[in-house]
A and B are shown apart, each in its own frame.
Chain A
Amino acid sequence: MGISKSEAASALADIESTTGRGRLLKSYQVGGPILMVWGVVWAAGYTAMGVLPPERWGLAWLVLDAIGIAATIVLSRRARGAAQGGAKAGQGWKTMASVFTILAFIAATFTVFRPTSLDPAMVFPGLVAGLVYSGVGIAYAPRYMWIGASVFAATLIGWFFFQPWLAFWMAAVGGGGLFVGGLWLRKA
C-alpha cells in the first residue's frame, strides 16, 4: 500500500511543525530561568535607585548587571549541556552580543538626548526592554511578545501615574513582571 503525494507532503509538514513546536517549548524552558534572574536584577537595581543617592546608582547597576550576565552564561551553558550539543554553536555569544548592543543603544541615546531629570533615565530601559521582548516575540516566540508588551505598558503606567515612586514601581512591576514572565516560560 502506498500514499499520495499530498498525503506525504502533509505528513512531512506535520513532522516539521511538531519539531518546531518542540524547539519553541525548549527555548521557553531555557529562557524562563534567565528571565527570572533578570527580574531579580531589575528589582534589586531599581530598589537600589529608590534608596541610594544617585552617585551610587552606577556602581549598583554595574555589580548587578555583572551578576546577571554571569548567571545568563551559566544557565545557557547548562541548558546547552543538557541538550548535548543540540543548541546551535555560538548561540551564547550571539545572545551576549545582543545584550551589549542593547546596552550600547541605551548609553548612546542618553548621550544624545541628555535627559534633564532622573525619571526619564529610569523608565527608558523599561521601554527598551519592552520593545526588544515584543520584537523577539513577534518574530520568533509569541510568549515574549506578551511579556514585552506587559513591561512596556507597566513602564508607561508608572511614568504617568506613579512618578513619585517610580523606582519602587519599576522594581516591583518591572522586576516582578520579568520574574513572573520567566516562571510562565519555564512552565511551557
Chain B
Amino acid sequence: MSVAELDELIHQPLRLKIMAALHAERDAEPVEFSRLKAVTQATDGNLGSHLATLEKAGYVEITKDFVGKKPRTRAALTPVGRKAFRRHVDYLRAVVEGVDGDVT
C-alpha cells in the first residue's frame, strides 16, 4: 500500500482540478479538451500548459485525432496518474483529520 504524501505537481489548483475531473471518469473514454475546459473553468492556454506538465510527468495521456475534418484533443489519466492522485487525496484527508499533524 502506498504512503499518503503531498504531490507538489498535483497540488497546483488547476492541475488538481484537471486530475479530479479525469479521475472522476473512471474507465470511461478520455475527456475532450473542450469538456475539460468547461469542467475546470480554465482558459485554453492555461489548460493546455498544465495538461502538458501533467503529460510530461506521466500522469496524463493526451491523444489527438480527427472527427471528420475537425481536430480533437482528448486527455485521460494514466495508471501512474491515478495512483498519484489517490495518494495525494489520501494525504489531504490525513491532514484534514489531523493524522499527519499541521505543518504551518
Binds A, one of B11-19, B59-67, B68-76: B11-19
Q: Say yes or no for B83: interface residue by CB 8 A criterion.
A: no
Q: What separation, in Å, do the CA atoms of A72 and B8 have in the docked complex?
A: 45
**Which residue among B38, B40, B95 has the maximum number of chain A CB atoms within 10 Å of its CB?**
B95
Q: Of all chain B residues, which has the CB nearest A5?
A: B102
Binds B, one of A12-20, A42-50, A111-119: A12-20
Q: B19 → chain A, closest Cβ, in Å?
A: 8
Q: A155 → chain B, closest Cβ, in Å?
A: 31
Known: A1-B6, A2-B95, A2-B100. A11 touches B39 (CB 8 A): no
Contact yes or no, A19 B24, CB < 8 A: yes
Q: What separation, in Å, do the CA atoms of A1 and B104 have in the docked complex?
A: 9
Q: Say yes or no for B9: interface residue by CB 8 A criterion.
A: no
Known: A1-B6, A8-B96. A25 touches B103 (CB 8 A): no
- Residues on A with C-beta less than 8 A from B17 are 14-15, 18
Which of A4, A23, A86 is B104 in contact with, Cβ under 8 Å? A4
Which of A2, A15, A85 is B89 in contact with, Cβ under 8 Å? A15
Interface of A is mostly: helix
Known: A18-B20, A82-B28. A12 touches B103 (CB 8 A): no
The tally of residues in A whose CB lies under 8 Å from a CB in B reads 24
Q: Of all chain A residues, which has the CB nearest B11?
A: A11
Q: Of all chain B residues, which has the CB nearest A15?
A: B20
**Which residue among A1, A5, A9, A82 has the maximum number of chain B CB atoms within 10 Å of its CB?**
A5
- Residues on B with C-beta less than 8 A from A12 are 89, 92-93, 96
- Residues on B with C-beta less than 8 A from A157 are none
Q: A21-B41, A86-B25 are in contact. List 16 more A-B contacts (CB 8 A).
A: A8-B93, A8-B95, A11-B11, A12-B89, A14-B16, A14-B20, A15-B16, A15-B17, A18-B40, A19-B23, A21-B38, A25-B39, A83-B28, A84-B27, A86-B26, A188-B38
A→B interface (CB under 8 Å): 1-5, 7-9, 11-12, 14-15, 18-19, 21-23, 25, 82-86, 188
B→A interface (CB under 8 Å): 6, 8, 11, 13, 16-17, 20-21, 23-29, 35, 38-41, 89, 91-93, 95-96, 98, 100-104
22 pairs, CB–CB < 8 Å, chain A vs chain B: A1-B6, A1-B8, A2-B95, A4-B95, A4-B102, A4-B104, A5-B95, A7-B95, A11-B13, A11-B16, A14-B13, A14-B20, A15-B89, A15-B92, A18-B21, A19-B20, A19-B23, A22-B21, A22-B24, A84-B26, A85-B27, A86-B26
